[in-house]
Amino acid sequence: MADKVRVWDARDQEITGEVDAWDTWEKVKAVKGFPGGLIAFLQTSTDSEGCGFETPTTVQSFAWPILQSGKDLVGVAKTGSGKTLAFLLPGFIKLRKLKKQGEIDTARGPALLCMTPTRELCYQIFSDTEKFGKPVQITAACAYGGAPKRDQEWKIKEGPDCLIATPGRLNDFCENGAVNLDQVRFAVLDEADRMLDMGFEPQIKQILDRVPWEKQMSMFTATWPRECRELAKKYIKDPVQIQIGSDDITTNQNITQKIEVCMSNDEKKSALKRILGNLAHGANCLVFSNTKKNCRDLAWELNEDKSLGLWTEEIHGDLDQARRDTALNRFRSGEARVLCATDVAARGLDIRNIAVVVNYDCPKNQEDYVHRIGRTGRATDRGEAITFLSNWGDEKSANYIVQTMEKANQEVPQVLRDVAAGKSVSSTGGSDNSWGGSNDWKKDDWKKDDDWKKDEWKKDDDWKKDDWKKEDDWKKDDDWKKGDDWKNDEASKESSWQKDDWKQDGDRADGEKDQEAAPQEEEDGSGGKRKALWDLLGEAPAAKEAKVGPSSAPADDGGEDAEIEVEAEAEAE
């Protein structure tokens, strides 16, 4: 089904019919200034090292003419719909034109600036910028926390045309004079609603205060709640807005959404293992937890279960950047088939072999849900998202899942409606079926593939498992396991409290949940609501301080820098 498109001009008048979308490469090629070499690279089949994109995506076809005309833009379009290229391409064109006219000198500073909420997304967009920029001789550098500053500074000194950055590190570089932003003419906030969330906004302001006023500004996201629109007005003046989807929380119809109702943690685990047991050859699974601790525990447990024969990695804010990078690289390459993640991996990441996303813990709001499940079903791929719900107390989550499924024109299972209505339902977690969607064919096909995997793949990977285990033995046997014992005894009390009381008492739930979540606040993306809660509790500064200790940036980041980065990452994640 074609995506619904709406466009509003700077005065909020709808102008959808007036935009001549560049929906074919021929139309794009006909535009003066669009470099043929790049279009050929995008269009050409992958065999000859091109991208093989048949047509521009819907968001690209609308964003390109609007940005090319010099207007500011807010682009809201579903996950995996090609927003990155939607802003990069017109940015490149503008940059080349200004360079040619001698209006900018990128030896003095970058002309295109893109800010992202997480380090991994920053690196991904930087890689895209290098890849797409190469055919048109456009260069890029990146700046994000956790990685050595020196290397990043070195590349920035070479005078790249584009800079992709997370706000903490960028502010730091601005303050120490490593980066000069007075050449910026094209600025982008990717994942804009996240960037305008409470933790980032002051840093964004600091950065944008250094950028010349005459720049062109754009913001992109898949979810654009009302609070963000108000905040955005401070940084983007009378933008054109395009919305691809039925409303301000877009959904990707290529993702089959399912749920599992589980009575207990054990049921959740067995449901997850069943899903992983059915994973097709070459298919990866991304598993989201709400806390770093759950994420770590789950990864450990999955690796301990030899019968699965799947290598699991973990990614969250407690790991240093080198470990995070390794985990993501192994997952991207398919070496590790499962990645347990917190919301650090919820936004923007484009890993094409993710076939299944599991919300082991239910995300806290609809926006997070949409971004998390959006890690599958990229571009024209299809994917599956399975969310575990408790058989009681998950009404709110069930409600937004119902809404999201309806928006995606998917049949909503009765059991989900029952959970949403607070009715008592029986579990599905231990059984052999999840509820929702209609891709049983896929299950069967995948299973066939999977048989292969169970036998062959396991053999291949025995060496890997052993080596890898040696590397990580320290973790499992000593400190880490002790930590785990503590967890089993103490924290399980806490979590059983959580499971029980938390659900019974709404008011207390929020307060307590926040206390429990305070050190892991970065995993929480509830934005304005969270701010309101913090304001009420007066706890925000304490929560931030708590983060500085354990997750400080590596040694080469100085104290102050580390703090900035930690804060940035905290919000990032």
Ligand X SMILES: Nc1ncnc2c1ncn2[C@@H]1O[C@H](COP(=O)(O)OP(=O)(O)OP(=O)(O)O)[C@@H](O)[C@H]1O
Residues that bind ligand X (CB under 6 A): 53, 56-57, 60, 77, 79-85, 222, 348, 350, 352, 374, 378-379
| Shortest Å distance, C-beta 3 to ligand X | 12
Q: Among 104-112, 347-355, 458-466, 521-529, which window interacts with Mg ion (CB under 5 A)?
A: 347-355
Rg of the chain on CA atoms, in Å: 23
- Find tokens 């059983």 and name the residue: 496
Question: In whole angstroms, how close is the CB of 377 to ligand X at the nearest point?
Answer: 10
What single DSSP character describes residue 377? Answer: S
> Which residue number has the CB closest to Mg ion?
348
CB 316 within 8 A of CB 573: yes
Q: Find the part of the chain contacting Mg ion (CB under 5 A) among 133-141, 321-329, 343-351, 407-415.
A: 343-351
429 touches Mg ion by CB under 5 A: no
The HSE-up count of residue 248 (CA atoms within 13 Å, CB side) is 10
Contacts of residue 276, Cβ cutoff 8 Å, sequence gap at least 6 = 285, 302, 308, 310, 337, 338
Residue 258 C-beta: closest distance to ligand X, Å = 20
Nearest to ligand X of 372, 544 (CB atom): 372
- Closest approach of Mg ion to the CB of residue 344, in Å: 15
Which 3-state string (H, E, C) describes 434-476?
CECCCCHHHHHHHHHHHHHHHHHHHHHHHHHHHHHHHHHHHHH
In sequence order, which ranges of 315-379 are alpha helices (DSSP H)?
321-333, 366-373
Residue 222 binding: pick among Mg ion, ligand X, none (C-beta 5-8 Å cut-off by kind): ligand X
178 binds, among ligand X, Mg ion, none (CB under 5 to 8 A by kind): none
From 42, 61, 83, 123, residue interacting with Mg ion (rule: CB under 5 A): 83
Confirm or reject binding of residue 348 to Mg ion (CB under 5 A): yes
Residue 331: CB minimum distance to ligand X, A: 15
Minimum separation from the CB atom of position 53 to ligand X (A): 3
Give the whole-angstrom CA distance, residue 407 versus residue 410.
8
Q: Which is nearer to ligand X, 114 or 222 (CB)?
A: 222
Compute the least distance from the CB of residue 124 to ligand X, in Å: 8
What distance in Å separates the CA atoms of residue 343 and residue 322, rounded to the nearest whole number?
18
Q: Nearest-CA neighbor of 302 among 331, 270, 324, 262?
A: 270
**Helix/strand/coil percentages in the chain, nearest 5:** 50, 15, 35
User: Under the criterion CB under 5 A, does residue 80 sit at the interface with Mg ion?
Assistant: no
Quick one: 288 or 502, whose CB is closer to ligand X? 288
Min CB(252)–Mg ion separation in Å: 12
Binding site partner of 378, from ligand X, Mg ion, none, Cβ cut-off 5-8 A by kind: ligand X
Nearer to Mg ion among residue 75 and residue 199 (C-beta): 75
Give the separation between CA 557 and CA 549, rounded to whole angstroms. 13
H helices of 114-212, in order, are 119-133, 149-157, 167-175, 192-195, 201-209
Instruction: Tell me whether residue 379 or residue 532 sits nearer to ligand X (CB atom).
Output: 379
Using CB distances below 5 to 8 A depending on partner kind, what does residue 85 bind out of ligand X, Mg ion, none?
A: ligand X
Q: Enumerate helices (H) and strands (E) in the chain, giving the number of each.
A: 25, 14
Binding site for Mg ion (CB under 5 A): 83, 348
